[in-house]
Amino acid sequence: MDGTLTIAAHDFEKIRRAIELPPGEPILEALDKMSADEAAPKRIKLDEIEFELARQAKPAPGAKVLMQTLKERHFNVGILTRNGSEIAIETLHCCELLEFFDRQFVLGREMARPKPHPDGVLQLLRAWKVDARSTVMVGDYYFDLAAGAAAGTRTIYFDPACSGHWTSIADLTVNTHDELRLLVTGE
């Protein structure tokens, strides 16, 4: 969602510093290595930071048109995020994208093991009663693509900066929502 449907705004190193985590390590994994007592206040602070970022979220160019097209064509859509689900809901609300999602398919870190683990993708596939190979996981980061691949879906790397960072692990790469819309709809 962040960096795919929304304009990427997370400065993960700044977040790590704010919650006093070592640089470079993924935030959730660093917290999981701590005792519950040590991690609890850091998790609260993380939620506060993420809610503030959610309130400032802006939709990515073309995201609303893409989602409208998917809705009109009755595609199953969901969100799998390493944020909490309520933070994701707030982000979607602030970006005027919430109308395109059934809340039960907005899965946060409290509902499934965080990406890159495939739990959340598999949970969505079961709920929709669809085969993994008929499904696409779209994301802008390694964790998204790894989760989709591990669940057996096709993966699309959304790369608006044209960086090419994760092209080699994705089935396809797109740079805009218009490209993605055309690819998915076949028009």
Side-chain half-sphere exposure of 126, counting CA atoms within 13 A: 8
Write the pLDDT tens digit of every residue in 77-93: 999 999 999 999 999 99
* Domain edges within the chain: 12-55, 63-185
Mean pLDDT across the chain:
96
- What is the average per-residue pLDDT within 117-122? 98
Name the one residue in this structure whose structure tokens are 């870190």: 109
pLDDT of residue 10: 87
Whether omega before 116 lies within 30 degrees of 0, making that bond cis, reads yes
CATH number of the domain located at residue range(s) 63-185 in this protein? 3.40.50.1000
**Mean pLDDT across 153-161:** 97
Task: Give 69-72's long-range contacts (Cβ < 8 A, gap of 24+).
Answer: 69/181, 69/184, 69/185, 70/100, 70/184, 71/100
For 81-153, where are the E strands, in sequence order? 106-107, 136-139
184 pLDDT above the threshold of 90: no
Phi/psi at 78 (nearest 5 deg)? Answer: -145, 170
